[in-house]
Amino acid sequence: METRIAVCAVADLLPGSAQVVHTDIGHVSVYNIDGRFHAIDDLCPHMRESLGQGHIDGACVTCPAHGWRFDVRSGKSPDFEGIEVATYPVEVADGTIWLILTGTGDDGWMDWDGATDPDDIEKELFD
């Protein structure tokens, strides 16, 4: 099943900015990177700060809490191998940015519900 969620008008999401969207699967942040739109889970997998409130530099957003960075095109951390957030398709139609959520179970929805425990990440990275 596909769900399309209107994010905002294209004109309202300027390059280098983000918009947080509230969905049934939680918060998703949508970014305009040089005129292309990308969507990732909004909550940082470290301690669940809003990535949509972070600083955007190029294609990376820096978490405002402790500085973990994520490439919004891939969801991957450029700093820590294996650390990533889920990504979601985005489309533009009729001047509106649309977030596309598809399916249930193993294709992204569970990435949200099953977000990695911050304590496990800390242990894996720093022990």
Catalog residues that contact ligand FES under the rule CB under 6 A.
Answer: 44, 46-47, 49, 63, 65-68
* Sheet-wide strand order for 55-57: 55-57, 60-62, 69-71
Nearest to residue 58, comparing CAs of 69, 45, 44, 43? 69
* Sheet-wide strand order for 26-33: 17-23, 26-33, 36-41, 87-88
Comparing CB distances to ligand FES, the nearer of 97 and 121 is 121
In the complex, least distance from residue 63 CB atom to ligand FES, rounded to whole angstroms: 3
In the complex, least distance from residue 16 CB atom to ligand FES, rounded to whole angstroms: 20
CA distances from 127 to 43, 80, 94, 124 (A): 24, 14, 50, 6
Comparing CB distances to ligand FES, the nearer of 99 and 121 is 121
Comparing CB distances to ligand FES, the nearer of 47 and 59 is 47
Comparing CB distances to ligand FES, the nearer of 70 and 98 is 70
Answer for the pair 118, 68: CB distance below 8 angstroms, yes or no.
no
In the complex, least distance from residue 30 CB atom to ligand FES, rounded to whole angstroms: 18
In the complex, least distance from residue 45 CB atom to ligand FES, rounded to whole angstroms: 8
